[in-house]
Amino acid sequence: MNYRLAQGVELVGRDGENFLMSRTPLCVLRLNRTLADLVGRGVDGALISTSVAEQNVMEQLATKGFAERVRSIQQQPGMLPEVSIVIPVMNRADELRRCLTSLAQITYPQEKLQIIVVDDGSSDDSPMVARELGAVVVSSGGIGRGPAAARNVGVSMAHGEILAFIDSDCCASKEWLCELMSAFADPAMAAVGGQVDGMCSESAVDRYESVMSSLSLGSRRRSGNRGNDTFYLPSCNLLVRSNAFSQAGGFDESMHVGEDVDLTWRLRDSGWTISYLPAGNVLHEHRSSIRSFMSRRFDYGTSEGMLQLLHPQRRKQMVIPPLLATVLALLIAAPFISLWLLLLAVSVLMADVAAVRIAFSRRNLPLGLRALTAGRLRSLGSLAYYLSFHVVRYYSLPLCFAALIVPGFWASFLPVLVFGCAARVDYAIRKPPLSFAIFSGIYLLEHIAYGSGVFWGCVNVKCFRSYRVIVLRQMEQTA
């Protein structure tokens, strides 16, 4: 497997010690001699070819943003594994026809494909459409058993080495399987997810979903194996080794939402690796009305309580550097208490910059005061965004009530400030084809629906761990 250093990352040696340094964001990682020799192969943009034993540590560097994986050259057609594509469906005849038509056009060798449609008790022509287009049709064994149960039934009929899951309201790109299959060159790779794009753009919700859908994981490659972070892969564009799927026990049929999160977390807990590639894309027909959009976000939120019961070790984590948190608190309080707090905030920020500069100077790391100050300001902005987003995500409804009911400028200003920070950053980064006003309105509705779903799901399972956050201090990483 091949890797290279991420853009803006350099290997620095000082006083017998070796460091990987990223300037954006500002981050330093101390390396031992063995790892420094491995990373040193990638100086000046060279590829780092790794053995099986070296892949694990390079994956950790890639997860931390210091390295990126270079996809292997695609296999020759004769070497490609057999793939079983599993599609659950219930009363979506037109969508299923569109999906199956797209699968007939993919470049993967058709003789190595098995297409299985699992009918979950449809009352329309879905089974007939599937047979007409050459798919194997099986019954889920009931009516409305849910996509998890339907997929498990489909897998029981599959004979492919790789299981490919796609939803009936999706269309696959021609290179869908070919672009993702190379990741399985790594024998530790259990599951690979691809890019999910919006199919429609007619409504404002469609255009919002095109950049904000929870099914779309962005433009950066990600991998995860053991660890307690919450990285997962959505099942509407998911490839899994059949033996890894069996070892994990398949999808949890009691879950109608969040079953893909649960499965990919169980794979990781078993020592397998999962990976997301911004390739192999499928188009998804998102729910385009406000009502259906909010209903789906509510449903997604309800899964958090159950997931916390099943995976109590996977807790939300947030890095809150004490000095930067103090600066942020002073900046917020200054308009209401005293503008002198602004001067104090600047003083604390300079103290933080000085502390970091001293730490860098002790190791003779080349970073000027200007670059260091810019880095800490970016960190301050990131802290403000992540705190704001967390509050908006889980407490939007209480914030709205506070702004409307509690008298006083302070009560209304803070919710607006928090929401405005989160919405403005997401709008600037995601660049939706919407005005900021329309984007903000849908953004607020999304988080109200999701946060309400989280609360309702926690009440149902009597578990409120979703609201607990592990707060970490920012510190230099070591490897």
Q: What is the pLDDT of residues 134-190, one digit of tens each?
A: 999 999 999 999 999 999 999 999 999 999 999 999 999 999 999 999 899 888 999
Tokens 């590639």 belong to: 277
Distance between CA 161 and CA 243 in Å, rounded?
8
Domain 82-288 falls under CATH 3.90.550.10: yes
Q: What is the pLDDT of residues 5-60, one digit of tens each?
A: 887 788 887 767 778 877 666 777 888 888 888 888 877 777 888 876 777 788 77
Report the pLDDT averaged over residues 307-316.
91
| Three-point CA angle 96, 101, 102, nearest 5° | 100
pLDDT the model gives residue 474: 57
pLDDT of residue 76: 57
pTM: 0.85
* Exposure letters 380-411 (e unless 16+ CB within 10 A, then b): beebbbbbbbebbbbbbeebeeeeeeeeeeee
Instruction: Give me 219's structure tokens.
Output: 């433009």
On whether the CB atoms of residues 479 and 57 are closer than 8 A, the answer is yes
- Residue ranges covered by each domain of the chain: 2-70, 82-288, 318-478
| Predicted local distance difference test score (pLDDT) of residue 69 | 72
pLDDT for position 410: 60
Question: 48: Cβ–Cβ under 8 A, 6 or more apart, which residues?
Answer: 2, 3, 4, 5, 38, 39, 41, 42, 58, 67
